[in-house]
Amino acid sequence: MEYPIWELTTFGGGFFIALVSVFHVFLAHFAVGGGLFLPVFEGKAYKENSPALLEYVKKHTRFFLLVTMVLGGMSGVGIWFTISVLAPQATSRLIHTFVFGWAAEWVCFLAEIAALLIYYYRFDKMSPKDHQIVGWLYFVFAWLSLFFVNGIIGYMLTPGKWLTTENFWDGFLNPSFWPSLFFRTFLAATIAGLFGFITAHWVKDDKARESIYKTCVRWTTIPLVLALLSGWWYLGVLPQEALARLALRASLITEFYELIPIFAAGIFVLGALMLVRLPQNARFALSLVLLLLGLGFIGSFEFLREAARKPYLVHGYLYSNQIKVDDVQRLDAQGVLANAKWVAYRNPTDDPMAAGQELFQLQCASCHSIGGPMNNIIPLTKKYPLTGMDAKLSGIGKLSPMMPPFVGTLQERRALATYIVEGINNNPPGENIPFAAVDLPVEIPPFDSEKDEYVLLTWNNLGMHCISDSYSEWVLLPPANDIFGQLIRRGPLPEVVTEGVRLTYKVEPGFEEPAKLCDFWTHVKSLFGAQPPDNIGLAGNGLTGELKYHKEHQYFEAAMIPVTPYPASRGYNPYPIFTITAQDAKTGKVLAVSKTVAPTSTEMGCKNCHGGQWKVDDLAGISQATGRDVIMSHDRLSNTNLVAEAKAGSPKLCQSCHPDPVLKSEGKPGLKLLNLPAAIHGFHANFLGGRGSEACTYCHPNRPDGPTKCLRGLHGTADIGCVRCHGYMEDHALSLLKHEKEQGKPGAERLMRHLRPRMAESVEAINPRIPWLQEPNCSTCHEDYETKPDKQTAVAFNTWTKGGAQLYRFTQDDLGAVMCIACHNSPHANYPAINEYGKNRDNIAPLQYQGTNRAIGAQQNCAVCHQQDMDFNAHHP
């Protein structure tokens, strides 16, 4: 923000810092350990009166001087250069906080140079005692350099009390100071032994060379064990959030975690192998391998230390993109571009692409390259359309502890998303194609109000049944629609008929054989542990069959009918029609016939963030690419193996692990996982916050220009939307997560941490609820039958039914006979409903029985059942 930007693409993402620093750190540890190695070996030569060993020390000193002072010094300058141009804000903070620490370190470094030059150039010109004293002085100053640098570098990971005091000593003697100092000291000795193997190859005297090898084996293996023990101590002082970052199953972190013990074991075993009298060339090759293993060990450690520090340069103070934690709130309000001193575009709407490019350099380039070897942004974002990229930016830093949050205004976030999607990846925006409504013919069954004795009311219990048809990868909900019916004998006192009748159902032509159009039955055994025949659902019902009587509610039901939105003629139709026929059980006489839609949609918008295309007609369905990316993300974030299991032909039902009332699933015992709705909404709320009902339509089949529109009843036409009943995404998720938190589920707190309620004053004011069983209560807005709620102000959020029995779809009229849903239709599709596949497709029953699309009995149409006008309303409280 305060400094010019060094615009990098291919070699961005800290490439130059990583390239220089690992090499320099390796040599710097050699400078410390080798400083001890020299006087110890010189003393050994005098003690054993070995001119050959003393000659080795002299030659090793020359090698040591060239490597540490020339290569080490140059790479040290290289580090200062790269960090000053790539991370100037952090460099400035290190200098200003530890100016006297750096001064002390540079004094020690100057003393190192002087001592080493004297030690080498006066090797044969000083008394042995004085020469060794100079050698020991070099080691003391080298170790003090490590002492000072260790405190400063450790402060970046564990600043401790410095965050509140900003006191030099609080920052310098930080929590990781001592374990890190011991670890690095022991590691320095190990590296000195590794270099000793290299220079031992030059010794001609066999006895001296074998003595050097034996001593270097001890220098290599013993300090290595001590370094690993102090490394364990080091881990113990890291902040919990840092340990959580290291526990992530991110590919690079996992790889380096696995490499460290491999490198350590390799050094230990091959180091010990140097005791064996192998051919000299073999020993030299082995010593080179050992040196590479040492470089790999310290490089892996430094990578993990950097990973533990992310998303900060200075933990808790300065993010990796050099934005101060304390500045985030101000920059979110004012904008990053408006506050940056070295940008060309202050207003992101003037040129979103150019502004997005500058925002990328300001906030992303410190960690990500464009097409380069370091954290290449292209494969990480290639899948995202514009909507998904915007959501990703909205959520970074909340649940992924490796990345800082996006900082800036909504317009800046959109500009950055545009640049990444269209500028870097050359992707089209990826928005969904608007659906052109079609008017499919609907045949309304006949009804003679003068002659017909019965009224058959039929319905589906949900306004929309969503199917996740990614069967080869995972399943959220199977094809399983429910059809209901109540038969009413007309008369002055109408009667709900429950005995002596038989109700059957039949799907419209073209939907009879869903197994030919979807692969649910191919994977059903793996998903549900059962293998029903093709075209038969999990409850044993097919596309034709009989409704069974349900005594408690006095209705007939056919459960879990496996209807799909794919007709045999191909294409997509989420509103297949079922014909229900009521017959006399003894004679078979037809008493009444009616029809209802079984709304069934696969327009679940996973592709909006997970990439891929729609599966059918560019309108609906979860393609394999989209489904696979979902479980890839789950594996990465939750340490699961869902991709491997899917590849092996064993896809999983989400509820096999997560509890879910809708399927009466208790989940996997002992895991205490969040219930599925809480997990899904809680996770995605962190990415879709700050939005209105459009956040719902990114996933649910209700986008305004989509083919399904599950909210198509009175609430939809009144423009009430999702929010006033279910709350904004944050509120909705919090109500679910609060219940899980009260149940002692550990995952709830993590998902709630960054969510702020928008329809309540605080999280405490939001009432917890159980999904599917506790929903918005109709009476919150509809206080009584006569008074209509205010369409502009009525809000049902935060008042829930007490349990499943109070849900709208299970309630009966005041007489305890007729189901409310029988006359008013399904939730989200209450009469009159508007359907994209025909204006009357959802209104069959009211049109059949009263010639209007209003609720059954509305507008004084009591004669539908009573055969006469009524002067009072007995059905409503």
Nearest to 200 by CA among 69, 290, 138, 68: 290
CA distance 576 to 597: 6
- Residue 346 is assigned to a structural domain of this protein: no
**Rounded mean pLDDT of 201-223?**
93
pLDDT value at residue 255? 74
- Residue 835 is assigned to a structural domain of this protein: no
pLDDT value at residue 250? 62
Q: What is the pLDDT of residues 562-601, one digit of tens each?
A: 999 999 999 999 999 999 999 999 999 999 999 999 999 9
**Sign of the four-CA dihedral 70, 73, 77, 83:** positive
Domain finish residue from 564, 583, 601: 601
If pLDDT is split at 50, 70 and 90, which confidence band does 303 have? confident
Q: What is the pLDDT of residues 507-528, one digit of tens each?
A: 999 999 999 999 999 999 999 9
Per DSSP bridges, beta strands 548-550 and 555-561 are: antiparallel
Residues 6+ apart with CB under 8 A from 762: none
- Residue 711 is assigned to a structural domain of this protein: no
Domain finish residue from 260, 288, 318: 318
How many other CB atoms sit within 10 Å of the CB of residue 33?
28
pLDDT value at residue 251? 60
If pLDDT is split at 50, 70 and 90, which confidence band does 395 have? very high
**Rounded mean pLDDT of 56-76?**
94
Identity of the residue numbered 801: T
pLDDT value at residue 126? 92
pLDDT value at residue 739? 97
Q: CATH number of the domain that 514 lies in?
A: 2.60.40
CA distance 746 to 768: 16
- Contact by Cβ (8 Å): 807, 801: yes
**Rounded mean pLDDT of 65-73?**
93
- Own/partner contacts of 170-174, CB < 8 Å, gap of 24 or more, are 171/97, 171/98, 172/98, 172/101
Does the pLDDT at position 875 exceed 90? no
Q: What is the pTM of this model?
A: 0.89
pLDDT value at residue 3? 86
The DSSP call for residue 12 is T
pLDDT value at residue 713? 93
Query: What is the domain extent for residue 159?
Result: 15-318
Q: Which residue has the higher pLDDT, 416 or 813?
A: 416
Q: CATH number of the domain that 124 lies in?
A: 1.20.1630.10
**Rounded mean pLDDT of 202-216?**
92
pLDDT value at residue 252? 66
Nearest to 566 by CA among 610, 619, 530, 625: 619
CA distance 25 to 15: 15
Average predicted confidence (pLDDT) for the chain:
93
Q: What is the pLDDT of residues 238-275, one digit of tens each?
A: 888 888 777 766 666 767 778 888 999 999 999 999 98
If pLDDT is split at 50, 70 and 90, which confidence band does 731 have? very high
Q: What is the pLDDT of residues 29-64, one digit of tens each?
A: 999 999 999 999 999 999 999 999 999 999 999 999
pLDDT value at residue 876? 80
Q: What is the pLDDT of residues 451-485, one digit of tens each?
A: 999 999 999 999 899 999 999 999 999 999 999 99
**Rounded mean pLDDT of 675-703?**
95
pLDDT value at residue 119? 96
Beta-strand ranges (E) seen in 134-223 are none
- Residue 741 is assigned to a structural domain of this protein: no
Q: What is the pLDDT of residues 114-150, one digit of tens each?
A: 999 999 999 989 999 999 999 999 999 999 999 999 9
Does the pLDDT at position 618 exceed 80? yes
- Residue 426 is assigned to a structural domain of this protein: no
- Residue 866 is assigned to a structural domain of this protein: no
Identity of the residue numbered 741: K
Does the pLDDT at position 151 exceed 80? yes
pLDDT value at residue 249? 61
**Burial of 398 (C-beta count, 10 Å sphere; 0-12/13-18/19+):** buried
Helix/strand/coil for 25: helix
**Burial of 302 (C-beta count, 10 Å sphere; 0-12/13-18/19+):** middle
Least confident of 7-11, 466-470, 741-745: 7-11
- Contact by Cβ (8 Å): 374, 15: yes
pLDDT value at residue 813? 87
- Contact by Cβ (8 Å): 800, 767: yes
DSSP string computed for 739-778: HHHHTT-THHHHHHTT---SSSSSGGGSPP--TTTS-B-G
pLDDT value at residue 414? 97
What are residue 557's DSSP bridge partners? 484, 548
- Contact by Cβ (8 Å): 611, 388: yes
- Residue 273 is assigned to a structural domain of this protein: yes
- Residue 58 is assigned to a structural domain of this protein: yes
Does the pLDDT at position 222 exceed 70? yes
Tell me the percentage of the chain whose pLDDT exceeds 90: 82
Does the pLDDT at position 5 exceed 90? no
Q: Which residue has the higher pLDDT, 871 or 833?
A: 833
pLDDT value at residue 399? 87
**Rounded mean pLDDT of 337-361?**
94
Identity of the residue numbered 261: P
- Contact by Cβ (8 Å): 214, 262: no
CA distance 854 to 832: 5
How many other CB atoms sit within 10 Å of the CB of residue 460?
25
pLDDT value at residue 866? 92
Q: What is the pLDDT of residues 628-655, one digit of tens each?
A: 999 999 998 888 999 999 999 999 999 9
Domain finish residue from 318, 336, 355: 318
Pair 216, 70 in one domain: yes
Distance between start and end Cα atoms, the chain: 64
> What is the count of structural domains for the chain?
2
pLDDT value at residue 60? 96
pLDDT value at residue 286? 94
Nearest to 609 by CA among 633, 585, 584: 633
